[in-house]
Amino acid sequence: MSEHTYKIIELVGSSKATIEEAVKNALSKASESLDKSRWFEVTEIRGAIENNDVAYWQVGVKLGFNTEGEQVKPGGAERIKKEPGGQTKRSGKYRCKVCGYIYDPEKGDPDNGIKPGTFFKDLPDDWKCPECGVNKDQFEEVG
Cβ atoms 134, 96 nearer than 8 A: yes
The residue from 12, 22, 26, 96 that contacts Fe ion (CB under 5 A) is 96
The residue from 27, 77, 98, 142 that contacts Fe ion (CB under 5 A) is 98
Map 72-90 to HEC letters: ECCCHHHHCCECCCCCECC
The residue from 11, 26, 72, 129 that contacts Fe ion (CB under 5 A) is 129
CA distance 106 to 93: 9
Q: Is 102 in the site for Fe ion (CB under 5 A)?
A: no
**DSSP per-residue letters across 129-143:** -TTT--BGGGEEE--
Shortest distance, position 12 Cβ to Fe ion, whole Å: 32
Q: Is 101 in the site for Fe ion (CB under 5 A)?
A: yes
The contact set with Fe ion (CB under 5 A) reads 96, 98-99, 101, 129, 131-132
